Amino acid sequence: MKKKGLIVSGVLFFSILGVGALHSCDKDTYSYLDVTVIDQSTGTAVPNAFVTVSANGSSVGAAGVTDEKGVFSTKFAAPAVFDIDARMTVIDTPAYPLEQWYLHRDGSSSVRLKDSETVSATVYIGETVTYEHYPTIPGR
């Protein structure tokens, strides 16, 4: 009788331990980030803006393009403080056959992610247009 009670207790103990182990595997350990890019001059969301998220002095980060609502979403394995940069291309047309001019407007922000939470951040694209010139190689 004593032996039967010990076996039942052991099975019950390991069953509870197993359920606890499986439950802990379901725990969400990611930090989520939703970045909304807003055009400061119009106050509207910017679709197709290029967004980079990076930790200062680290190669940890993410990059992508905002959706039609002006939102870029990503996740990270651990909470941290990240810098966010966004760029909206204004014009991307060749000025001359051997040159390419890029006109863009930029914005930046920073955010602290929290463990297992979704954090929202907003980046406002400034009104200043920046010009960049890249010579192109013929035949490419």
Write the CATH number for 33: 2.60.40.10
Task: Kindly report the length of the chain.
Answer: 140
Share of the chain above pLDDT 70, in %: 64
Which tens digits make up the pLDDT trace of 96-124? 555 666 778 899 999 998 888 899 999 99
Nearest to 79 by CA among 55, 57, 63: 55
pTM metric for this prediction: 0.68
Domain span at residue 65?
29-135
Of the two residues 67 and 21, the one the predictor is more confident about is 67
**pLDDT reading at 6 higher than 90:** no
Strand order in the sheet with 118-125: 71-76, 31-39, 118-125
Examine residue 71 and state whether it is found in any structural domain, yes or no: yes
In this prediction, residue 67 carries a pLDDT of 96
Examine residue 24 and state whether it is found in any structural domain, yes or no: no
